[in-house]
Structure 1
Amino acid sequence: MEDKINFFAKHEKWIVVKKMDIDENTEKIDIARLLISIRDTVNKKIFEYFDEEFDLQKIENIISDIVPDGKLSEEKIAEIFKKLKSPIVTKRLEGDKLKKEISKQILTEKVLQKIKLKTLDAETIDKYIRKKEMEKAFKS
């Protein structure tokens, strides 16, 4: 069987297809880039599927309460994380213990997005790959 990545998703009007054939010339960074792209695509869609089970508006309200507007200093970010770990915030979430745990995880992901604490993203990996290719071309 050939090495490849095939990602296909279809639900109602949402359709995503991402593919890559992998051979001995495929660099691991290119595989990582595709996997990050798949993760980005899925991450953007995930919250739409939580809206019936979890009160996303309430989570957004909590985020507004703990993440101030404007530029965030290291001290402010530390304070945000302190509040995020606080039992007071957890008590504001609804449901049984397991539902609160999932709500807290949603809250954490959304807080990271709001404070613009970046995780791996395809765009940055693309820039790195292009830079690497340019450097390689100049050395040749």
Structure 2
Amino acid sequence: MISLTTYATGLVASRLLRGALALLVLLLIAGCAGRDGGRGGERVSAPSGWHGEQGQASFYADRYHGRRTASGEAHDRNALTAAHRSLPFGTRVRVTRLDNGRETVVRINDRGPFVRGRVIDLSRRAAEELDMLGQGVAEVQLSPE
């Protein structure tokens, strides 16, 4: 007959083993995830038929900092990111301000803008690089990177 102490020891060992196996599975799954959690950090080429477009650029208000974008990542006003209506997430786009020639390269991680005449919505940092914080909007040329 098994004593109560032996039974309890076996039960504890069994629970510890199951817990260790569960932890191992979680670590293996976490190890398979990309650094950005699979949310668009990879480089994606623009569609072959897309050669760029021209229109107005705007930039995100500060209140959107930290909010989730359509790609699932948090909006970071200090990153070089942007919203476009149709380009795949991860696509890198060169944005050139037409009246001063300044340019920057952004990664698409959100959808929008949904205002007539606007072709891209930029992070604050990208807007700073184009020197458009004072105006709010600027005429730009988008081209594949």
TM-score bracket, normalised by the shorter chain, equals under 0.3
* Structure with higher helix content: 1
Which structure is higher in RCO with an 8 Å CA cutoff and minimum separation 6?
Answer: 2
Q: Which has the higher strand share?
A: 2
Structure of larger gyration radius: 2
